[in-house]
Amino acid sequence: MPVDRSKILLDTAKRLLRRGATGHLHKIVNKTHAADLAAVFRFLTIREQEALFDLLDTVEQKALFFSALEEEILLKLIEDMPAEKIAEILEQMPNDDVADLLGKLSDERAKALLDLMTKEGSEEVEGLLSYDAETAGGIMLPDFIALKEETTARGAIEALQKEYVDIEMPFYLYVVDDHDKLAGVISLRQLVVVPPETRLESMMATDVVSVQTDTDQEEVAKIVARYDILAVPVVDEINTLVGIVTVDDVIDIIREEATEDILKMAGAGEGLIETQSLFKSTRIRLPWLLASWIGGVIAFFVIGHFESSLNKLVYLAAFIPIIMGMGGNIGTQSSTIVVRGLATGQLNLGQIWLVVSKELTIGFLLGFVYGLLVGFVVHLRYDLWLLGITVGLAVLSSMTIAALVGSLVPMAFARIHIDPAVATGPFVTTSIDILSVFLYFQIATVLLHL
Amino acid sequence: MPVDRSKILLDTAKRLLRRGATGHLHKIVNKTHAADLAAVFRFLTIREQEALFDLLDTVEQKALFFSALEEEILLKLIEDMPAEKIAEILEQMPNDDVADLLGKLSDERAKALLDLMTKEGSEEVEGLLSYDAETAGGIMLPDFIALKEETTARGAIEALQKEYVDIEMPFYLYVVDDHDKLAGVISLRQLVVVPPETRLESMMATDVVSVQTDTDQEEVAKIVARYDILAVPVVDEINTLVGIVTVDDVIDIIREEATEDILKMAGAGEGLIETQSLFKSTRIRLPWLLASWIGGVIAFFVIGHFESSLNKLVYLAAFIPIIMGMGGNIGTQSSTIVVRGLATGQLNLGQIWLVVSKELTIGFLLGFVYGLLVGFVVHLRYDLWLLGITVGLAVLSSMTIAALVGSLVPMAFARIHIDPAVATGPFVTTSIDILSVFLYFQIATVLLHL
């Protein structure tokens, strides 16, 4: 739904709720796609949310709506809802969504809800909950189509009509051997174009791309994206087919991982925190600033060390901002390119020296350009060419070192298996600040005989 | 393919090429999935790339490989390839991929290639080329299944077996009226579970989510993600069905747009430039640094303005880094949260004052914490509590203003339809630097009677 229509729905809902015109609103809510309704919930108060939600007629609609709603909002919405009412809705949701939700609740609450569900559903959900939430096992759908090799195309279509009516994405049919091990895959499309007596084993593709239950979700997303497939089968350690991850979940993962990387690099948490409490937002952002604070304190001891130079030439202070700013910004450019390149697979660790030496060259070239420019301005302002050379050299060295640190640090972190997005931000900016200031005063003390 | 297997393929290819063991390599290359082969190309020299590519046996394999290869690498690979050879491969590729590629070539070269292709293919590609590359029209696939309302399920299956054998993603069948206007949609799965005589019009869903040819690709991606669909139909201004955008292309768009946003915020271009020429990389990063350079020059005139204060109390200079660093970092956090929130739709422009006031509060709280800390350290070091208060107040005001500027600027840019990711970086960091330094010296001059 285009942004405009989203806005119309939101405004209408707010207006009708204010007026208490529930009759009219009831019609609108039950006609709206669950995903559209979910998209406006973020912009409503909890009271408005509850009122709108209660207008949904059927348990099926509520289940679709729960699946479409952002987790954070859903958790708030069900906070005061009676367990019986929630369990009834969970019964109608895909089990992977149920497991996602229960994984976020307290153990007692999750247990209570599971006890209220039918045995079949709760067992499947418990199975999913046993996997790490960010692995293939944690995100997979345990419902899939698995047929034996000797099944015919006609037999497969009959199975679709009877046994597999509720399957969410029935576009691939997996073929398993007598021990339920994954043997091949057939697309629904192939099935309708072959003669009805064809056996699956004679038409299936046997080089099936699959993932293991403990494969990281980011890796799962990369595989689905690379092979342009609509779902990837998940197998356990002995190749038994246990679930599938579908492309719609992969899209969510790709978006979340990108958001996570962007925020982590700025030290602003892992998920968008604008809707979180003020206290929580503040706490999430505190640690990264601590690194920067420590760096700042070190910088003032460094400058204190050069106090006698400063005393002799007080306007040295005026150039601290430009030297720090140029170094900091080119360092951010280098580290951003490397962190994103590693995340998308467009850079790999084997290229570490290639990348670092290229960044170093770029840092030097840009440092030369801007160092020259700044030196010239300083000379114009103070009519001291030696001061111009000092500041120019400081900008050159600051930018060169920043490009080096900015590219080397994330690569080094990645090599020792520390998430480069998390570690890079504070480490790179802080060390560049300190190094830039130190080099500047060192150059000034030597060149200007201070 | 997991990272390890990618690395094995790469190492093997490089080793066998060096040895000239083309016989063995020929077998490997022709057994490898096109996507896997494409993934290692980035790490080969152009000579190695050409040698590997020539080992592919059939035109169909070459076409799959072209479709899987990253654009930038493909453009280099075909640079010296004879037009006849390229055209032969293009014939076998999906037309949306052909249009993407031709759109990146010079007009003459594209025209020459089109002339070498069959009339049917070249007309379709020319049709696609007439749309803006970043709209639904520019990315859509012109091949889709469109059947009349009165067709039966059996008739539809027969059409699949004869007419639509080459369709890339035949999971949705679109139903059109007598004027080819989009009337409904049926999933392939429904088709196999209904009685063969059922007419499509009696089983189709009529509330079809569709996009227009000029819908921005980012909007298309959001729609596919929101409704969890595998393809979205594209219609022209009079609702005639003209193409579909499939979920595999949507995944690519989501990844590209995320990369673009991340890089733009750091002023490092729009695509990953590590593989681009040194000169081009340098040029892309120059403008953003110019903003920061201008800011730095302004900052030194600001500090120059306070030269007499500095003369009286030279170690004021020592606190410039911590004041700039704390302001810059919290400003980056605020602007990152807002830019990403706007991009994912989790924030909207209607909330501007809510978001800004929250950021302002967070800036004040964190400023208070770190201001207090820094004031204490300054007092310890210089035994001057008034200096401690000065620096503490400067950190507090710098961080508060940074959070305000960092959240307000991207929202304001978005409101006047300027891409917040591009404009935010240089504008926010530069203005925060200048404001921080000015306020610091102003506070010091007043409080310390300089």
- List the 359-398 stretch of A: residues with Cβ below 8 A of B: 361-362, 365-366, 369-370, 373-374, 377-378, 381
Average pLDDT over residues A216-237: 91
Residue A275 has pLDDT above 60, yes or no: no
Mind telling me how many Å the CA of B20 is from chain A's nearest CA?
23
What is the rounded CA–CA span in Å between residue A434 and residue A437? 5
Across the interface, of B2, B191, B303, the residue whose CB is closest to A318 is B303
**Domain coordinates in residue numbering, chain A:** 3-132, 146-262, 278-447
The H or E element spanning position A175 is strand A172-176
Which residues are within 8 A (CB) of A324 and not within 5 positions of it... i.e. 6 or more apart?
A: A398, A433, A436, A437, B320, B321, B324, B325
Within 10 Å of residue A29's Cβ, how many Cβ atoms? Answer: 22
Within 10 Å of residue A284's Cβ, how many Cβ atoms? Answer: 19
- List the 126-165 stretch of A: residues with Cβ below 8 A of B: 157, 160-161, 165
Mind telling me how many Å the CA of B21 is from chain A's nearest CA?
24
Half-sphere exposure (Cβ direction) of A200: Cα atoms closer than 13 Å: 26
Which residues are within 8 A (CB) of B29 and not within 5 positions of it... i.e. 6 or more apart?
A: B13, B37, B52, B55, B56
Mind telling me how many Å the CA of A28 is from chain B's nearest CA?
15
Query: DSSP letter at B229?
Result: -
Across the interface, of A219, A226, A251, the residue whose CB is closest to B250 is A251
CATH architecture of A278-447: Orthogonal Bundle (1.10)
Average pLDDT over residues A211-222: 93
Tens digits of per-residue pLDDT, B336-367? 989 888 888 778 887 788 889 999 999 999 99
What is the rounded CA–CA span in Å between residue B362 and residue B368? 10
3-state helix, strand, coil in chain B (%, to 5): 70, 10, 25
Chain B residues whose CB is inside 8 A of the A266 CB are: 332-333, 336-337
Q: Could you report the predicted ipTM of this complex, rounded to two decimals?
A: 0.81
Is A66 part of the contact surface with chain B (CB cutoff 8 Å)?
A: no
Reported pTM = 0.82
Mutate: best of B279, B300, B303, B384, partner A, most A CBs <10 A:
B300
Query: DSSP letter at B135?
Result: B
Query: Which of A226, A251, A187, A161 has its CA nearest to residue B169?
Result: A187
Instruction: Give the pLDDT confidence score for residue A1 in this predicted structure.
Output: 44
Query: DSSP letter at B240?
Result: B
Query: Which of B43, B76, B71 has its CA nearest to residue A352?
Result: B43
Tokens of residue A385, six digits: 């060419």
H-helix segments, B105-197: 107-116, 119-129, 136-139, 153-162, 188-193
Query: Which of A125, A72, A79, A118 has its CA nearest to residue A98?
Result: A125
Query: Which of A155, A366, A123, A216 has its CA nearest to residue A374?
Result: A366
What is the rounded CA–CA span in Å between residue B89 and residue A231? 28
Mark yes or no for CB contact A330/B289 under 8 Å: yes
Average pLDDT over residues B172-177: 92
Is A340 part of the contact surface with chain B (CB cutoff 8 Å)?
A: yes
Work out the pLDDT band at A350, boundaries 50, 70, 90.
Answer: confident
Average pLDDT over residues A62-82: 90
Tens digits of per-residue pLDDT, A19-67? 888 888 899 889 888 988 998 888 888 889 999 999 999 999 999 999 9
Is B319 part of the contact surface with chain A (CB cutoff 8 Å)?
A: yes
Tens digits of per-residue pLDDT, A428-438? 888 999 999 99
A347 backbone φψ class: left, alpha, beta (φ>0; ψ -120 to 50): beta
Query: Contact B99/B113 with Cβ under 8 angstroms?
Result: no
CATH architecture of A146-262: Roll (3.10)
Mark yes or no for CB contact B191/A193 under 8 Å: no
Query: Which of A233, A111, A237 has its CA nearest to residue A173?
Result: A233
Work out the pLDDT band at B389, boundaries 50, 70, 90.
Answer: very high
B232 φ/ψ angles, rounded to the nearest 5 degrees = -120, 130
Chain B residues whose CB is inside 8 A of the A441 CB are: none
What is the rounded CA–CA span in Å between residue A364 and residue A396? 7
Chain B residues whose CB is inside 8 A of the A299 CB are: 318, 321-322, 325
Chain A residues whose CB is inside 8 A of the B292 CB are: 325-326, 329
What is the rounded CA–CA span in Å between residue A187 and residue A203? 10
Tens digits of per-residue pLDDT, A129-171? 999 988 999 999 888 899 999 999 999 988 888 887 777 667 8
Across the interface, of B2, B263, B317, the residue whose CB is closest to A317 is B317
Which residue is it, tokens 């046997």?
Answer: A206
Chain B residues whose CB is inside 8 A of the A320 CB are: 317, 320-321, 324
Which residue is it, tokens 């059939």?
Answer: B58
B17 backbone φψ class: left, alpha, beta (φ>0; ψ -120 to 50): alpha
Mind telling me how many Å the CA of A346 is from chain B's nearest CA?
8
3-state helix, strand, coil in chain A (%, to 5): 70, 10, 25
What is the rounded CA–CA span in Å between residue A159 and residue B33? 31
Classify B3-133 by CATH class.
mainly alpha
- CATH no. of B146-261: 3.10.580.10
Residue B68 has pLDDT above 60, yes or no: yes
B115 backbone φψ class: left, alpha, beta (φ>0; ψ -120 to 50): alpha
**DSSP strand pairing (B211-212 vs B231-235):** parallel
The side-by-side arrangement of strands in the sheet containing A182-187 is A146-148, A172-176, A182-187
Is A45 part of the contact surface with chain B (CB cutoff 8 Å)?
A: no
CA distances from A315 to B66, B300, B302, B326 (A): 59, 9, 11, 23
Which residues are within 8 A (CB) of B140 and not within 5 positions of it... i.e. 6 or more apart?
A: B96, B128, B213, B234, B242, B243, B244, B245
Query: Which of A302, A295, A304 has its CA nearest to residue A328?
Result: A295
Mark yes or no for CB contact A274/B347 under 8 Å: yes
Higher per-residue confidence, B395 vs A384: B395
Average pLDDT over residues B395-420: 92
Task: Compute CA B324 distance to the chain's CA centroid, rounded to the nearest angstrom.
Answer: 31
Query: Which of B158, B121, B164, B120 has its CA nearest to residue B146?
Result: B164
Please tell me whether residue B246 adopts helix, strand or coil conformation: strand
Which residue is it, tokens 């490092």?
Answer: B268
Classify A3-132 by CATH class.
mainly alpha
Work out the pLDDT band at B429, boundaries 50, 70, 90.
Answer: confident
Is A112 part of the contact surface with chain B (CB cutoff 8 Å)?
A: no
Output the average pLDDT for chain B.
88
Query: Contact B260/B271 with Cβ under 8 angstroms?
Result: yes
CA distances from A398 to A443, B268, B274, B373 (A): 11, 18, 21, 28
Output the average pLDDT for chain A.
88
Within 10 Å of residue A409's Cβ, how many Cβ atoms? Answer: 24
Mark yes or no for CB contact A265/B268 under 8 Å: no
What is the rounded CA–CA span in Å between residue A53 and residue A32? 12
B228 backbone φψ class: left, alpha, beta (φ>0; ψ -120 to 50): left
Longest Cα separation, chain B: 96
Higher per-residue confidence, B193 vs B332: B332
Query: DSSP letter at A194?
Result: S
Across the interface, of B268, B285, B433, the residue whose CB is closest to A321 is B433
